[in-house]
């Protein structure tokens, strides 16, 4: 007689999933504490930090600029249709500038960088982990968290606001281009109208909240890469989970930070 394989009841799967989630967050907390301790202890890896800043910041600039330009064009077209419909066409420059600078550019930059940089960091560190290069670094009396994780996280924190400024600039300029193709308006008038009545408190907090995005992307990607197992399959899994988790946490952080900014800068 053939025996049928036993199937685990579904009520046994949920506790394992919940326990695995708590375990993951616990390991992440330990990793963050180790990274903070390594970051505060000299010597500092300045050369590696500059290299990572170029890798994360400069090489992400074309993609971020393209995404910002697309956002500006789409907002100009959609906002024009809506504002003309309600008789508020004169508010088009302000609508484009505020939408691009305060929300669209920061979150778009965070998601674009989490896709490119998160996958890159996760795959690179995972490959080093499964080939025992990280063990070799540790055996040579160098803290791998200081050399590999701290430099990448710091580079992400510094690069994200700069990339956001570039994305905002491209979004505003391309928004003006899309607007002037429909109804000509000078760039000076567009900028003056768009920024009329706005202050630094309207634009600086949304831009610098991307430092939190950078910290999330660098931390999650480094953590996933340095805990990878299982050869090539583990490298692919680390890259995938780095992108998914960092994008998810960036979106959740955006929801929280928007509320915090509105409370602190009414």
Tell whether 14 is covered by a domain.
no
Divide the 266 residues of the chain into consecutive groups of 10 and give the mean pLDDT of each group. 48 63 85 86 84 88 91 85 74 84 89 90 87 82 83 92 92 88 83 78 83 92 85 83 91 90 80
In the chain, the number of structural domains is 1
Q: Say what the pTM is.
A: 0.85
Tell whether 50 is covered by a domain.
yes
DSSP 44: P
Tell whether 8 is covered by a domain.
no
Tell whether 21 is covered by a domain.
no
Supply the pLDDT for residue 14: 56
Supply the pLDDT for residue 6: 47
Residues 6+ apart with CB under 8 A from 93: 176, 179, 185, 189, 190, 191, 193, 194
What element of type H or E holds 91? Answer: none
Tell whether 20 is covered by a domain.
no
Between the CA of residue 210 and those of 99, 114, 121, 245, 257, what are the distances in Å?
16, 12, 18, 16, 10
Tell whether 77 is covered by a domain.
yes
Indicate if the alpha-carbon torsion angle 133, 137, 138, 139 is positive or negative.
positive
Tell whether 208 is covered by a domain.
yes
Supply the pLDDT for residue 15: 64
The boundaries of the domain holding residue 78 are: 26-264
Supply the pLDDT for residue 179: 85
């Amino acid at each position: 007689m053939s025996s049928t394989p036993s199937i685990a009841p579904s009520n046994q799967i949920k506790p394992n999933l919940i326990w695995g989630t708590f375990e993951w967050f616990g390991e992440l907390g330990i990793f963050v504490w180790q990274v903070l301790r390594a970051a505060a202890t000299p010597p500092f890896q300045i050369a590696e930090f500059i290299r990572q800043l170029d890798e994360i910041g400069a090489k992400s600039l074309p993609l971020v600029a393209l995404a910002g330009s697309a956002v500006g064009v789409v907002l100009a077209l959609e906002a024009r249709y809506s504002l003309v419909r309600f008789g508020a066409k004169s508010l088009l420059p302000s609508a484009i500038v505020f939408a691009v600078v305060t929300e669209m550019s920061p979150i778009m930059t965070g998601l674009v960088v989490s896709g490119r940089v998160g996958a890159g960091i996760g795959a690179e560190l995972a490959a080093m982990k499964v080939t025992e290069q990280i063990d070799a670094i540790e055996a040579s009396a160098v803290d791998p968290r200081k050399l590999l994780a701290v430099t990448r996280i710091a580079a992400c924190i510094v690069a994200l606001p700069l990339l956001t400024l570039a994305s905002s600039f491209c979004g505003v300029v391309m928004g003006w281009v899309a607007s002037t193709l429909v109804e000509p308006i000078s760039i000076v008038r567009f900028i003056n109208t768009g920024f009329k009545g706005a202050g630094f408190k309207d634009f600086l907090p949304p831009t610098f909240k991307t430092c939190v995005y950078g910290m999330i992307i660098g931390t999650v990607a480094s953590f996933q890469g340095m805990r990878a197992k299982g050869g090539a399959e583990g490298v692919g899994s680390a890259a995938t989970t780095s992108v998914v988790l960092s994008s998810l946490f960036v979106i959740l952080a955006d929801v929280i930070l928007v509320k915090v900014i509105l409370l602190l800068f009414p």
